[in-house]
Amino acid sequence: MNVLVAGGAGFIGSNFINYILSTRDDYLIVNLDKLTYAGNLENLKLCEKNKNYHFVKGDITNNELADYLFKKYEINFVINFAAESHVDRSILGSEVFYRTNVIGTNVLLEAARRYNVKKFLQVSTDEVYGSLGSTGLFTEQTPLSPNSPYSSSKAAADMAALAVHHTYGLPVVITRCSNNYGPFQFPEKLIPLMIINSLNNKKLPVYGDGLYVRDWIYVIDHNKAVELVFEKGRAGEVYNIGASREMKNIDIVKLILNKLGKSEELIEYVKDRPGHDRRYAIDSSKIQNELGWKPKFEFEQAIDSTIDWYLQNKNWWERIISGEYKKYYEVQYGIY
Ligand code: NAD
Ligand code: TYD
């Protein structure tokens, strides 16, 4: 299988490539990544010398490049992780979200169509469903109702992918996963941000009342589901992925402080995110019943090993937070 993995230098994509290349020898992976602020080749050190791995620095919106790569590497499969992925950044400026997430995805879909690829997996998010009240779960039948520029761009990409399946018969599958955590997650996201700020004795900015709920899944569980849907998922279908582990933000923040032996006085309630979705929760019975997937990691153990990873990989995140990230942090939180 010659697989174009787009966005493989980011958090989930790099975990996916590291996992696949350490367990499979039937994948030739071509990783196409623009190396935006979120892309980092340090995440893929283990793969550098693997003969089944090639890295190409490039933008998924580049038609000519896509065409060249599909031809050169005889690409017959695609997994698209590439995206602008952070809600807060999409609120600060949405243009690049639509460019990468919508136009970029369509460029890959069009190339896949020209080269008759056998499967195209679009990595999507539960955020396309919008927000839940205090009860209920997102199923694959839940109407799309995205609320942020990020989630609306992901919903548009999903629609583009399904349209290419419907119109031309390209074998497209879509996964919609809940919030991930684990190694190599960029510090702007809730869990790494709170770990790193705690370690640096900086304030932990909790939006609004802190009672917003996310459904957390360890990144390896997500990637095993991606592998399964990629190989066995039915064309034209959507598969929700989630580990049924709902947590209030404030409880995660307190858990991290507690594990690191820090005081809850570091918590600072700050101005809420505009349009903040109250609750996400996934019904993953379709992938469980149809494909036999099940999450393997318990939240308690996996959050512990995630915290340990950040403790043991200070060099990785110290380099990040001393660069461009400082400017983002200042704009987003008003201080550094
Ligand atoms: P990330 O921001 O860590 O990584 C995104 C990667 O895409 C980076 O390596 C970046 O350089 C690359 N990229 C961005 N624009 C590009 C472009 N124009 N051309 C080529 N490469 C480009 O994101 P992530 O958290 O790893 O998310 C991966 C995918 O999973 C995204 O599609 C996201 O919507 C989806 N997702 C994420 C989560 C989560 O909790 N993080 C949950 C569900 C779904
Ligand atoms: P985030 O990691 O940005 O993921 P998403 O918004 O895509 O679910 O945020 C997770 C939750 O944590 C969300 O409810 C917003 C909240 N949050 C804070 O309270 N403070 C922060 O500094 C960040 C980044 C997020």
In the chain, where the domains are located:
2-333
Give the DSSP H or E segment for 57: strand 53-57
d(CA 315, CA 100): 29
- Residue 316 is predicted with a pLDDT of 98
For residue 204, give the nearest of 190, 224, 214 by alpha carbon.
Answer: 190
Taking residue 1's Cβ as centre, other Cβ atoms within 10 Å add up to: 15
d(CA 75, CA 54): 12
* Tens digit of each residue's pLDDT (9 = 90 or more) over 187-197: 999 999 999 99
The answer, yes or no, to whether any atom of ligand 1 lies below 6 A from the CB of 60, is yes
Ligand 1 atom closest to Cα of 85?
A: 2
Residues found in the chain:
336
d(CA 1, CA 79): 12
d(CA 180, CA 245): 11
The sign one gets for the Cα dihedral 90, 146, 232, 225 is positive
For residue 6, give the nearest of 95, 145, 100 by alpha carbon.
Answer: 100
- Token pair of 211 as six digits: 């009672």
Q: 189 C-alpha to center of ligand 2: Å?
A: 6
d(CA 190, CA 329): 13
d(CA 250, CA 190): 11
- Residue 336 is predicted with a pLDDT of 58
- Residue 335 is predicted with a pLDDT of 73
d(CA 280, CA 288): 19
d(CA 327, CA 119): 40
- Which residue's CA is minimally distant from atom 35 of ligand 1? 124
User: Which parts of the chain have pLDDT scores under 70?
Assistant: 336
The sign one gets for the Cα dihedral 17, 185, 318, 273 is positive
Which residues participate in catalysis according to the annotation? Answer: 126-127, 150
Query: 2-333 domain in CATH 3.30.450.20?
Result: no
DSSP per-residue letters across 150-167: HHHHHHHHHHHHHHHHHH
Binding-site residues, ligand 2, Cβ < 6 A? 87, 179, 189-190, 193, 205-207, 212, 214, 249, 273
Ligand 2 atom closest to Cα of 125?
A: 7
